[in-house]
Structure 1
Amino acid sequence: MEAGGTLTRADLADALHREVGLSRADSSSLVEQILRHMCEALSEGENVKISGFGSFILRDKGERIGRNPKTGVEVPIAPRRVLTFRASQMMRERIVAGT
Protein backbone atom coordinates (compact mmCIF):
# COMPACT_ATOMS: atom_id res chain seq x y z
CA MET A 1 0.00 0.00 0.00
CA GLU A 2 1.32 3.43 -0.87
CA ALA A 3 1.41 6.39 1.52
CA GLY A 4 -1.89 8.23 1.72
CA GLY A 5 -3.81 5.19 0.42
CA THR A 6 -6.50 3.22 2.16
CA LEU A 7 -6.01 -0.19 3.74
CA THR A 8 -8.93 -2.46 2.79
CA ARG A 9 -10.23 -5.86 3.85
CA ALA A 10 -8.75 -7.28 0.67
CA ASP A 11 -5.34 -5.79 1.58
CA LEU A 12 -5.51 -7.42 5.02
CA ALA A 13 -6.48 -10.78 3.51
CA ASP A 14 -3.67 -10.49 0.94
CA ALA A 15 -1.14 -9.74 3.70
CA LEU A 16 -2.30 -12.84 5.61
CA HIS A 17 -1.97 -14.89 2.45
CA ARG A 18 1.59 -13.65 1.78
CA GLU A 19 2.98 -13.49 5.32
CA VAL A 20 1.24 -16.40 7.05
CA GLY A 21 0.71 -18.68 4.08
CA LEU A 22 -3.02 -19.18 4.43
CA SER A 23 -5.00 -19.73 1.25
CA ARG A 24 -6.69 -16.65 -0.20
CA ALA A 25 -10.12 -17.99 0.80
CA ASP A 26 -9.00 -18.79 4.37
CA SER A 27 -7.29 -15.39 4.68
CA SER A 28 -10.41 -13.57 3.55
CA SER A 29 -12.60 -15.65 5.86
CA LEU A 30 -10.34 -14.95 8.85
CA VAL A 31 -10.40 -11.18 8.24
CA GLU A 32 -14.21 -11.28 7.97
CA GLN A 33 -14.53 -13.33 11.19
CA ILE A 34 -12.33 -10.90 13.15
CA LEU A 35 -14.22 -7.85 11.89
CA ARG A 36 -17.58 -9.52 12.53
CA HIS A 37 -16.54 -10.38 16.10
CA MET A 38 -15.41 -6.78 16.72
CA CYS A 39 -18.69 -5.40 15.30
CA GLU A 40 -20.77 -7.75 17.46
CA ALA A 41 -18.87 -6.73 20.60
CA LEU A 42 -19.34 -3.03 19.83
CA SER A 43 -23.03 -3.45 19.02
CA GLU A 44 -23.47 -5.15 22.42
CA GLY A 45 -21.93 -2.12 24.13
CA GLU A 46 -18.45 -3.57 24.73
CA ASN A 47 -15.27 -1.63 24.02
CA VAL A 48 -12.65 -3.36 21.86
CA LYS A 49 -8.98 -3.15 22.87
CA ILE A 50 -6.19 -4.46 20.65
CA SER A 51 -2.93 -4.40 22.58
CA GLY A 52 -0.22 -2.40 20.84
CA PHE A 53 -2.74 -0.95 18.38
CA GLY A 54 -5.50 0.90 20.22
CA SER A 55 -9.02 0.87 21.60
CA PHE A 56 -12.43 1.36 20.02
CA ILE A 57 -14.48 3.06 22.72
CA LEU A 58 -18.23 3.66 22.83
CA ARG A 59 -19.42 6.89 24.43
CA ASP A 60 -22.93 8.07 25.13
CA LYS A 61 -23.41 11.75 24.34
CA GLY A 62 -26.27 13.62 25.93
CA GLU A 63 -28.74 15.91 24.23
CA ARG A 64 -27.41 19.39 23.54
CA ILE A 65 -28.29 22.54 21.69
CA GLY A 66 -26.57 23.12 18.35
CA ARG A 67 -26.73 25.99 15.92
CA ASN A 68 -27.38 25.91 12.18
CA PRO A 69 -24.30 27.70 10.80
CA LYS A 70 -26.21 29.20 7.86
CA THR A 71 -29.22 30.57 9.68
CA GLY A 72 -28.00 30.77 13.28
CA VAL A 73 -31.18 28.99 14.44
CA GLU A 74 -30.71 26.84 17.53
CA VAL A 75 -31.71 23.19 17.15
CA PRO A 76 -31.64 20.33 19.64
CA ILE A 77 -29.15 17.56 18.89
CA ALA A 78 -30.51 14.19 20.03
CA PRO A 79 -28.58 12.01 22.47
CA ARG A 80 -26.55 9.35 20.70
CA ARG A 81 -23.83 6.77 21.04
CA VAL A 82 -20.56 7.49 19.25
CA LEU A 83 -17.57 5.30 18.47
CA THR A 84 -14.11 6.72 19.03
CA PHE A 85 -10.67 5.26 18.45
CA ARG A 86 -7.75 5.89 20.76
CA ALA A 87 -4.38 4.76 19.45
CA SER A 88 -2.06 2.99 21.90
CA GLN A 89 1.13 4.72 23.01
CA MET A 90 3.13 2.25 20.91
CA MET A 91 1.06 3.07 17.81
CA ARG A 92 1.40 6.83 18.39
CA GLU A 93 5.17 6.48 18.67
CA ARG A 94 5.33 4.46 15.43
CA ILE A 95 3.20 7.01 13.58
CA VAL A 96 5.39 9.90 14.74
CA ALA A 97 8.53 7.96 13.79
CA GLY A 98 7.02 7.19 10.37
CA THR A 99 7.48 3.41 10.53
Structure 2
Amino acid sequence: MTITKADLVRQIYHSHPEMTKMRSTRAVELFLSLAKNSLISGEHLLLSGFGKFKIKDKRLRRGRNPQTGEELMLDARRVVTFKPSGKLRSKVN
Protein backbone atom coordinates (compact mmCIF):
# COMPACT_ATOMS: atom_id res chain seq x y z
CA MET A 1 0.00 0.00 0.00
CA THR A 2 1.20 3.51 -0.80
CA ILE A 3 0.20 6.66 1.05
CA THR A 4 -0.24 9.62 -1.27
CA LYS A 5 -0.25 13.35 -0.67
CA ALA A 6 -4.05 13.25 -0.96
CA ASP A 7 -4.13 10.59 1.79
CA LEU A 8 -2.09 12.86 4.07
CA VAL A 9 -4.45 15.77 3.41
CA ARG A 10 -7.46 13.54 4.13
CA GLN A 11 -5.93 12.25 7.40
CA ILE A 12 -5.20 15.79 8.63
CA TYR A 13 -8.66 16.98 7.58
CA HIS A 14 -10.43 14.11 9.39
CA SER A 15 -8.32 14.20 12.57
CA HIS A 16 -8.60 18.00 13.06
CA PRO A 17 -12.22 19.17 12.86
CA GLU A 18 -11.18 22.85 12.90
CA MET A 19 -9.17 22.43 9.68
CA THR A 20 -10.80 22.91 6.30
CA LYS A 21 -9.74 20.72 3.42
CA MET A 22 -8.04 23.74 1.80
CA ARG A 23 -6.03 24.51 4.97
CA SER A 24 -5.07 20.83 5.27
CA THR A 25 -3.86 20.86 1.68
CA ARG A 26 -1.85 24.04 2.28
CA ALA A 27 -0.28 22.55 5.43
CA VAL A 28 0.89 19.44 3.55
CA GLU A 29 2.11 21.53 0.59
CA LEU A 30 4.01 23.89 2.92
CA PHE A 31 5.71 21.04 4.76
CA LEU A 32 6.74 19.33 1.51
CA SER A 33 7.99 22.62 0.09
CA LEU A 34 10.12 23.29 3.19
CA ALA A 35 11.48 19.73 3.08
CA LYS A 36 12.31 19.94 -0.65
CA ASN A 37 13.97 23.35 -0.32
CA SER A 38 16.16 22.24 2.57
CA LEU A 39 17.34 19.17 0.62
CA ILE A 40 17.88 21.17 -2.57
CA SER A 41 20.07 23.61 -0.65
CA GLY A 42 22.12 20.69 0.72
CA GLU A 43 20.81 20.77 4.29
CA HIS A 44 19.89 17.60 6.17
CA LEU A 45 16.26 17.10 7.20
CA LEU A 46 15.80 15.55 10.65
CA LEU A 47 12.32 14.48 11.73
CA SER A 48 12.62 13.33 15.35
CA GLY A 49 11.17 9.88 15.90
CA PHE A 50 11.03 9.28 12.14
CA GLY A 51 14.47 9.64 10.58
CA LYS A 52 17.00 11.77 8.77
CA PHE A 53 17.14 12.65 5.08
CA LYS A 54 20.62 13.54 3.80
CA ILE A 55 22.11 14.71 0.55
CA LYS A 56 25.05 12.61 -0.55
CA ASP A 57 27.46 13.54 -3.34
CA LYS A 58 28.35 10.64 -5.64
CA ARG A 59 31.52 11.13 -7.63
CA LEU A 60 32.17 10.23 -11.26
CA ARG A 61 32.62 6.47 -11.43
CA ARG A 62 32.91 3.55 -13.78
CA GLY A 63 29.78 1.47 -14.39
CA ARG A 64 28.42 -1.10 -16.74
CA ASN A 65 25.26 -1.45 -18.80
CA PRO A 66 23.67 -4.64 -17.39
CA GLN A 67 21.95 -5.48 -20.69
CA THR A 68 24.98 -5.20 -22.98
CA GLY A 69 27.88 -5.48 -20.53
CA GLU A 70 29.35 -2.31 -22.06
CA GLU A 71 31.46 -0.25 -19.66
CA LEU A 72 30.64 3.43 -19.27
CA MET A 73 31.27 6.36 -16.97
CA LEU A 74 28.47 7.36 -14.59
CA ASP A 75 28.18 11.11 -14.01
CA ALA A 76 28.73 12.71 -10.63
CA ARG A 77 25.41 13.39 -8.96
CA ARG A 78 23.65 14.16 -5.71
CA VAL A 79 21.29 11.64 -4.14
CA VAL A 80 18.90 11.74 -1.20
CA THR A 81 19.42 9.06 1.43
CA PHE A 82 17.20 8.19 4.39
CA LYS A 83 18.22 6.71 7.72
CA PRO A 84 15.29 5.74 9.95
CA SER A 85 15.34 6.64 13.64
CA GLY A 86 15.93 3.90 16.16
CA LYS A 87 12.29 4.11 17.27
CA LEU A 88 10.97 3.69 13.72
CA ARG A 89 13.45 0.91 12.95
CA SER A 90 12.43 -1.08 16.05
CA LYS A 91 8.69 -0.66 15.30
CA VAL A 92 9.12 -1.75 11.67
CA ASN A 93 11.10 -4.83 12.73
Match of 2:16 in 1: 20
Aligned length, in residue pairs: 92
Moved over 4 A (4+): none
What TM-score, normalized by structure 1, do the two folds share?
A: 0.87
Match of 2:74 in 1: 77
In structure 2, C-alpha distance between the alignment counterparts of 1:70 and 1:41, rounded to whole Å: 37
In structure 2, C-alpha distance between the alignment counterparts of 1:10 and 1:72, rounded to whole Å: 42
Counterpart secondary structure, 1:52: coil
User: How many Å apart are 1:92 and its aligned residue?
Assistant: 0.9
Counterpart secondary structure, 2:57: strand
User: How many Å apart are 1:35 and its aligned residue?
Assistant: 0.3
What TM-score, normalized by structure 2, do the two folds share?
A: 0.93
Question: Quick one: which of 11, 30, 41 aligns to 2:7?
Answer: 11
Match of 1:93 in 2: 90
Q: CA RMSD in A?
A: 1.0
Question: Quick one: which of 58, 69, 81 aligns to 1:61?
Answer: 58
Q: Which amino acid aligns with 1:41?
A: S
Gaps of 5+ in 1: none
Q: Which amino acid aligns with 2:90?
A: E
User: How many Å apart are 1:36 and its aligned residue?
Assistant: 0.4
Q: Which amino acid aligns with 1:90?
A: K
In structure 2, C-alpha distance between the alignment counterparts of 1:28 and 1:47, rounded to whole Å: 24
